[in-house]
Amino acid sequence: MTFSITRRRLLIGSAAGLGAISLTGCDDVAQNAKVQAVLEMAETLTMKSQRLLVPRDRLAREFSEADISPIFRSNGTSQPDGEDYARMMETGFAEWRLKIDGLVEHPVELSLADLKRLPSRTQITRHDCVEGWSAIGKWTGVPLGLILQSAGMRPGARYAVFYCADQLEQTIDGSGTYYESVDLIDAFHPQTILAYQLNGKDLDVAHGAPLRLRVERHLGYKHAKYLMRIEIKDSFASLWGGKGGFWEDRGYEWYAGI
Ligand SMILES: Nc1nc2c(c(=O)[nH]1)N[C@H]1C(S)=C(S)[C@@H](COP(=O)(O)O)O[C@H]1N2
Ligand SMILES: [Mo]
């Protein structure tokens, strides 16, 4: 983290010619529209530079069983509100379905049993939350790339958007729904999995039951819990705040690479 913040400043300094502007603790600077635009451009540059510096297929570090944290905190929603989720919970998610649609050749709906029949990957990785905590856990799930490959990408496909069962804010237009997105490079990354187990047990409700995203080279908020639907899109600009995620719509970076 420290390294990437330092590198980020450095890259903004050189690539965007902004000199020594710091991105932290400058509320008055961030409120200026012009500066905001430059910062957004700088974010794009950061992403592009990171793509140049870090090979596309770089793997996140994996740990051993002995490194697994005795307690893995839960953060954000610990149980989605509403009767729909409660009903699914009661039946052990037997009625839950993951919908995959958008720019795909074959839209599909998969049950938990369907997902568990597919080839799986298990990985012990570190989760880093922007709020300043980390935990190491063992995740098991289906590589997202495998599912997307069998669904077939249609021309124009660029992003996978993840819609969750929980709402962090009650709004009429649904903009309080937790959602996230990644580009197809991250979607097809070998460590990007749809996880149904944590530390060898079925995912509990606090950690995103029945299914959550693990996208290991990104910060915690990208790891969408309570997955309901994955939509393949050419752009996420028309979705709610237009920034590609619940927290991104409220100012977090879309490319949360670590
Ligand atoms: N649907 C949903 N996904 C979510 C969140 C949330 O509130 N709702 N919180 C995010 C944040 S900020 C973090 S750090 C992780 C926390 O995952 P955990 O509860 O398994 O620790 O989930 C992420 N995914
Ligand atoms: Mo987080």
| Architecture of domain 59-250 in this structure | Alpha-Beta Complex (3.90)
Q: What residue spans of 57-143 are helical by DSSP H?
A: 83-90, 112-117
DSSP state of 65: G
Domain residue extents for the chain: 59-250
Per-position pLDDT tens, the chain of length 258:
333 333 333 333 333 333 333 344 444 444 556 555 655 666 666 666 665 666 667 999 999 999 999 999 999 999 999 999 999 999 999 999 999 999 999 999 999 999 999 999 999 999 999 999 999 999 999 999 999 999 999 999 999 999 999 999 999 999 999 999 999 999 999 999 999 999 999 999 999 999 999 999 999 999 999 999 999 999 999 999 999 999 999 999 999 998
Q: Which of 113, 80, 107, 108 is nearest to 95 (CA)?
A: 113
Please tell me whether residue 209 adopts helix, strand or coil conformation. coil
CA of 152 to the centre of ligand 1 (A): 28
CA of 17 to the centre of ligand 1 (A): 35
- The pTM assigned to this predicted structure is 0.83
Cis peptide before 190 (omega within 30 of 0): no
Query: Which residue minimizes the CA distance to atom 9 of ligand 1?
Result: 76
Atom number, ligand 1, closest to the C-alpha of residue 77: 7
Atom number, ligand 1, closest to the C-alpha of residue 207: 20
Question: Quick check: CB of 129 below 6 Å from ligand 1?
Answer: yes
Please tell me whether residue 197 adopts helix, strand or coil conformation. strand
Q: What residue spans of 25-128 are helical by DSSP H?
A: 27-31, 33-53, 83-90, 112-117
Please give the structure tokens belonging to residue 45: 């540059």
